[in-house]
């Protein structure tokens, strides 16, 4: 028995697997990002931002480590080092929301265009190696030292014995 192609299409639409809608969430703010929006950043672009580190090191989950660090407790500094390592070793693009893009010193038009490519590829797009901003050793060390040793100091000044 052969089935009419129109009937097959109807049956597929009724009983077939529906394609899952591709979605994104900002890894920093946890906000959902509407399809086609957001900015694509590399890990180097993200971790180079002092404002980003001030935010990360004073979130509710990390604030106690920051207070401990500024109270000269080695365990706080060690945890901040582990937090830096976690975020600085992300090996995929970051698609961030409009509400956080101002934290980063990037070409917003370019970051938006790369996000469009990311959306069109359903998250498979990764900028080519020659398009990836990479921090030189000196800059990386400066960023690491700020993130671990200084980030959040102003925000927690009243909460510790600094």
DSSP letter, residue 40: E
- Could you read off the pLDDT of 69-120 as tens digits, one per residue? 999 999 999 999 999 999 999 989 999 999 999 999 999 999 999 999 999 9
Residue 94's nearest CA partner among 29, 26, 34, 30 is 26
- Could you read off the pLDDT of 22-65 as tens digits, one per residue? 899 999 999 999 999 999 999 999 999 999 999 999 999 999 99
d(CA 7, CA 15): 12
To the question of pTM greater than 0.85 for the whole model, the response is no
Token pair 């937090």: residue: 83
Residue 30's nearest CA partner among 73, 92, 94 is 94
Task: Report the DSSP pairing between strands 39-41 and 94-96.
Answer: antiparallel
d(CA 48, CA 133): 10
What residues pair up with 41 in beta bridges, in sequence order? 94
């Amino acid at each position: 028995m052969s089935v009419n192609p129109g009937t097959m299409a109807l049956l597929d639409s009724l009983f077939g697997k529906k394609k899952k809608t591709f979605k994104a969430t900002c890894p920093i703010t946890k906000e959902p990002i509407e399809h086609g929006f957001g900015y694509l950043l590399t890990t180097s672009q993200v971790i180079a931002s002092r404002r980003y580190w001030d935010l990360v090191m004073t979130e509710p989950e990390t604030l106690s480590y920051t207070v401990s660090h500024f109270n000269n407790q080695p365990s706080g500094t060690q945890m901040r080092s582990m937090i830096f390592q976690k975020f600085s070793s992300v090996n995929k693009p970051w698609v961030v929301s409009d509400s956080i893009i101002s934290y980063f010193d990037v070409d917003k038009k370019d970051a938006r265009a790369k996000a469009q490519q990311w959306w069109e590829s359903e998250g498979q797009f990764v900028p080519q190696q020659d398009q990836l901003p990479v921090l030189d050793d000196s800059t990386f060390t400066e960023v690491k030292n700020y993130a671990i040793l200084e980030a959040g100091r102003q925000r927690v000044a009243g909460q510790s014995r600094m």
